[in-house]
Every structure is written in structure tokens, then in C-alpha cells.
Amino acid sequence: MQTALTYPFQLPELAFDYNALEPFIDETTMHLHHEKHHQSYIVELNEAIKDYPLLHELSIEALLRKLDTAVPERIRLVVKNQGGGHANHQMFWKVIRPPGVSGAGSDPSNALARDVTSTFGSLDNFKKEFEKTAVNLFGSGWVFLVYDSNDRRLKVHSTANQDSVLLETGLGAIFGNDVWEHAYYLKYNNGRAEYLHAWWSVLAWDIADERYTGLKNGTLGK
Ligand code: MN
């Protein structure tokens, strides 16, 4: 009998078909993004930690939170990059859905929407700030709506490369958008702003609201 090798981190299945986000995110981009890009971060992360079984017990969130204390220095940079890539993409697939599913494609009226409105003035103001931050992000990176447990505030926050907000004390991602060119270039070419604008049609506000609740009460991302 052959025993399958098990790796601590695995590619999560999508909750929807690869073509389900058309026309906002095209099927080819979805295949490449999930099966090639995300898979590659996982393969490299598993490879980096293969000789450190204690690290295999940690969730990806715990691994990144403990980067400077639990992860040996010689693999710290690769875990930051590849582990960040895994955490960011795992979150990304969780918060997007086809329009009409889990609040995607319509303006929200939940607790998150109320707090976004009171923090940023209006939902439109928030979207503008989020898009502007992403357009102005030089090179590759991510833009997030975070809950900052230090001051219990909602904030737009960007990171470079695959850096996770988990590396920053107190921050949790309610949702984030990937502004690496691999996320949009096939369909939108250099039109990052157009992609960002279209992306709201697939953001699942109901799932974002659940994540917000989980971040506020400390149950998400442990
Ligand atoms: Mn990506």
C-alpha cells in the first residue's frame, strides 16, 4: 500500500467554478491564479519548512504571526514571502463570489457597511480611497480593508509584494484585493484602475461582514 505524502499546507478548493466570476474576472486568469500562482506559493512554503516539523502544527496565520519568534532565521524570508502569498490568496478566494451570492454585486446594509460609512463618510468614499491606494501602490502588492484591534478602527492598508497584514500587530484583513499584474493583466492589460472598479462586483459583503465580526471578537485568524 502506498502512503500519500502529506504536506502541511494544501491548495484550498474554490467555492465556485473558474468561469463563475465572468466577466469581471476571466476564467483563464482564475485558472492560472489559483492552480499556478497560489499553488506555487504553497509548494515553496512546504519545501521551506519541510525540515521543521514543529512548524507543521501551526496554521498559516499563526506561522506568520510568529515569524520572528518561531521561524528559524535561515527560512524566515521565504516563509514571509511564500507563506504571505498563501495567506493572502486563501483570504482572497474566501471573500469573492459570483454576483448575487453572499452579498456580491450589491451594496451592503450590514454592520460592516454601517461602520464603513461612519468611518469613511460613505460607501463610495471608502471605495474611492481603497481604489486610489491600490492604483498608487508602486509595483506588486495588496490593498486591504483591515480591522485594527489596537484602536478598534477600520483602515485601508496596503502592503508590498506578498506581505501579510498578519506581520503587523493588531491588524486583521476583512478583505483584500490582489494588485499583482497576474491578477488582472490578461483581461485588463495595464488597466489596474478598471480592474479595481470591476472587482466590487465580486466582493462578497456578507462574508466580509462575518470576518469583521470574527476579527472584533478575536475568533478569526488564530
Ligand atoms: Mn495573486
Tell me what the mean pLDDT of segment 89-110 comes to.
96
pLDDT of residue 204: 98
- CA of 195 from ligand 1 middle (Å) equals 13
**What are the beta bridge partners of residue 152?**
none
- Whether the per-residue pLDDT at 1 is higher than 80: the answer is no
Non-local CB neighbours of 62 within 8 Å, separated by 6+ positions = 222
pLDDT at 130: 98
Confidence grade of residue 222 (pLDDT, cut at 50, 70, 90): low
| pLDDT score of 220 | 86
pLDDT of the residue at 66: 96
Q: How far is CA 160 from CA 9, 136, 193, in A?
A: 23, 12, 18
Q: Distance from the CA of 83 to the center of ligand 1, in angstroms?
A: 13
Task: Kindly give the distance from the C-alpha atom of residue 119 to the centroid of ligand 1, in angstroms, as a whole number.
Answer: 28
d(C-alpha 72, C-alpha 158), whole Å: 26
Q: Give the distance (Å) from ligand 1 centre to CA of residue 2.
A: 34
- Compute, in angstroms, the gap from residue 203 CA to the centroid of ligand 1: 16
Ligand 1 center to 208 CA (angstroms): 19
Cis peptide before 8 (omega within 30 of 0): no
- If pLDDT is split at 50, 70 and 90, which confidence band does 6 have? confident
As a whole number, mean pLDDT of residues 134-151 equals: 97
Predicted local confidence at residue 59, as pLDDT: 95
Residue 111 Cα to ligand 1 midpoint, Å, equals 29
Average pLDDT, whole number, for the chain? 95
- In this prediction, residue 7 carries a pLDDT of 86
Q: Over 70: is that where the pLDDT of 14 sits?
A: yes
**CA 4–ligand 1 middle distance (angstroms):** 28
Predicted confidence at residue 86, as pLDDT, reads: 98
The tens digit of pLDDT for each residue in 30-86 reads 999 999 999 999 999 999 999 999 999 999 999 999 999 999 999 999 999 999 999
- The whole-angstrom separation of Cα 99 and Cα 90 is 20
Strand order in the sheet with 153-160: 153-160, 141-148, 171-178
- The pLDDT tens digits for 164-187 are 999 999 999 999 999 999 999 999
Interval between CA 184 and ligand 1 midpoint (Å): 9
Alpha-carbon distance of 177 to 106, in angstroms, equals 18
Residue 195 has pLDDT above 90, yes or no: yes
Average pLDDT over residues 133-147: 97
Q: Residues 98-116: what's their mean pLDDT? A: 96
